[in-house]
Amino acid sequence: MTQQEINEAFKQRAELCRDATRHTMKIDLSYDEASLLRIDEIISTAWPQTSSGADIKKRCEIWASYLGECLRAIFGGEWIRTEAGWGVKIGNVVLNVFAKMEKRFQNGMGDSISFYYDAFKKQLHGVA
């Protein structure tokens, strides 16, 4: 697959997330910071209990794809396969969005997406 085909495959998964959220929750997500910062709220509302195993595999796939596409839209970057799995490479940093999303579903707000995003943004801009 070319990089463009890889990016398009993840974009299609992210669109599944946007479509499902629009139809089930009447929330129209974009690929911007405001929508990214709503991920915790949406997950907490739709799945108030933490979960693990096969129950979250598909959820993680589409939500991690959506998170990755938001990050790419905000900061640039591209999808890259590493030993840890698929991630988004922005500058010299690879964000493992699939592992992060799995932790979010397993641990709830203890693994907040908003906190993850803010920490990365500070790291990217050299703020301690």
Chain segment 62-106, per-residue pLDDT in tens: 999 999 999 999 999 999 999 989 999 999 999 999 999 999 998
Query: Strand 93-95 and strand 78-82: pairing?
Result: unpaired
pLDDT of residue 48: 75
* pLDDT at 128 exceeding the cut of 70: no
Coil, helix or strand for 118? helix
Question: Which among 37-41, 50-54, 55-59 has the top mean pLDDT?
Answer: 37-41
Mean pLDDT of 16-44: 96
* pLDDT at 52 exceeding the cut of 70: no
Residue 48: which domain range?
3-124
Domain count, the chain: 1
Predicted TM-score of the model (pTM):
0.92
Residue 100 token pair:
């992060």
51, 54, 58, 64 alpha-carbon torsion, rounded to 10°: 60
pLDDT of residue 96: 96
Whichever domain contains 93, its CATH number is 1.20.120.1090
